[in-house]
């Protein structure tokens, strides 16, 4: 079974702090994604990566950056956290081969910025 893990389930940070959210997958998937999920808005794509050191902006990249130095790890960085970044953050991974499009999700990190 694919396993996607995220470094924290709950995180509380102060405005202006730099925040790192880590995601690790153990199935050698090429593609990895970061979403945020807010009530009534569904999942919105922040950034994605199709391979090591490759990244693409999603729909709401402002205020975020990402890093993919190793295939199994995709980090989301909030350079200077703000209260409007309080949200549930979900990481996902997907294998590229075989026409499969199923994304496997991590358990999520609920971030609160005070």
Q: Could you list the residues that contact other proteins (CB under 8 A)?
A: 4, 31, 35, 40-45, 48, 50, 56, 58, 90, 101-108
Cα separation, 46 vs 39, whole angstroms: 16
For other proteins, give the closer residue by CB, 18 or 32: 32
| Contact in structure between 19 and 7 (CB atoms under 8 Å) | no
24 in Cβ contact with 72 (< 8 Å): yes
Residue 4 vs 113, nearer CB to other proteins = 4
Q: Which is nearer to other proteins, 22 or 50 (CB)?
A: 50
């Amino acid at each position: 079974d694919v396993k996607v893990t995220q470094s924290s389930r709950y995180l509380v940070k102060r405005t202006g702090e730099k925040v790192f959210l880590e995601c690790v997958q153990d199935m050698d998937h090429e593609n990895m994604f970061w979403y945020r999920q807010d009530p009534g808005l569904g999942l919105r794509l922040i950034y994605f990566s199709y391979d090591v050191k490759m990244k693409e902006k999603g729909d709401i990249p402002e205020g975020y950056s990402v890093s993919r130095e190793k295939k199994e790890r995709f980090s989301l960085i909030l350079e200077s956290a703000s209260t409007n970044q309080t949200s549930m953050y979900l990481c996902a991974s997907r294998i590229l081969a075989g026409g499969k499009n199923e994304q496997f999700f991590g358990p999520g990190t609920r971030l609160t910025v005070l």
